[in-house]
Amino acid sequence: MAGRAVASIGECMLELSGAGDGGWALNYAGDTFNTLWAIRALTPADIATDYVSAFGDDPFSAGQLEFFSKAGIGRASSPVIAGARPGLYAITLSGAERSFTYWRNDAAARQLADDQAALDKSLQNRALVYFSGITLAILTPQSRGRLMLALDRARQSGARIAFDPNYRPRLWPSEQDARSAIADALSLVDIALPTFPDEQALFGDSTPDGVAYRLSAAGVGEIVVKDGENPALVVAGDVEQQVPAVSVTAIDTTGAGDSYNGGYLAARLAGFEPVEAAKRAHKVAAATVQVRGALAPFETLRGAFTPA
């Protein structure tokens, strides 16, 4: 393993969430950032965590980077692009279930892989590199190629590569484009963290076992198939085990799967075996859905992660 540092690649957006009084609260979130947030909360301070993306030079981007810094999250060699700005989304809730409206077509993060040298540098000396299907979806095919090259180089240098396919149909030109890009990515993946309904929608898998079998056949050695409130399926080496979820009353399910991924990866970085990591991840996700927005306070995540 090349080092102890962690990098997560993707798009962190401006998040507008209902403040409960008819107003809106401004936060920062995005699937791969939400996962890194949990990893930052749950790993020792001397393990560097960097969010690898591209950023604008507007006041909102400056506020975003200041937010990162206060949380102990760096940006590695990610570029700041003159005239660019971050994407934006708004959350509306029906009970605890959420829906999203996006403004992201010209977001700076779409240029995160334009500079191969900067991207390679951002992924150097990493113990773990994480990305998602959304990371792939916001990039052009040429940029995805540069990302795959950087991931391959990081992996050859000792990094473990973790991936959540996180299929979002609206981001892809077609299902075939999504299937092809995700299949290419899986050839570089050590740890896969798919969600069963996403995989069923894109690949037609009829059961979580079917998802795990397909990813194993693609060469992925460690797989956790999430399935909402149902048990997660862990397949790693000789282990194949269902791990029950934690039952709680959800307030807001935004970021639940992302925080699960962060809890799982933090546990694996700490040396826990996959089944124990999945148990801790369920607790982290359960804590997240009991607060509003995608990012639970660090103290909340730590309390859930560490058994009493």
Q: How many other CB atoms are there within 10 angstroms of residue 82's CB atom? A: 8
Residue 205 annotated as catalytic: no
Pairing of strands 73-74, 49-52: parallel
Q: Are 243 and 262 in contact (CB under 8 A)?
A: no
Q: How far apart, in Å, are the Cα atoms of 45 and each of 4, 39, 49, 72, 266?
A: 11, 11, 9, 8, 12
**In DSSP terms, which residues pair with 74 in a beta bridge?**
50
Q: How far apart, in Å, are the Cα atoms of 267 and each of 43, 52, 108, 279, 306?
A: 8, 22, 32, 10, 10
Q: Are 263 and 305 in contact (CB under 8 A)?
A: yes
Residues with Cβ within 8 Å of residue 33, at least 6 apart in sequence: 8, 10, 11, 12, 51
Q: How far apart, in Å, are the Cα atoms of 214 and each of 211, 217, 228, 234?
A: 5, 5, 20, 14
Q: How many other CB atoms are there within 10 angstroms of residue 265's CB atom? A: 27
DSSP class of residue 152? Answer: H
Helix (H) or strand (E) holding 32: helix 31-42
What's the first-to-final CA gap in the chain, in angstroms?
Answer: 31
* Axis-axis angle for helices 175-186, 196-203 (nearest 10): 120
Query: In angstroms, how far apart are the furthest CA atoms of the chain?
Result: 52
DSSP class of residue 113? Answer: T
Active-site residues: which are they?
A: 258
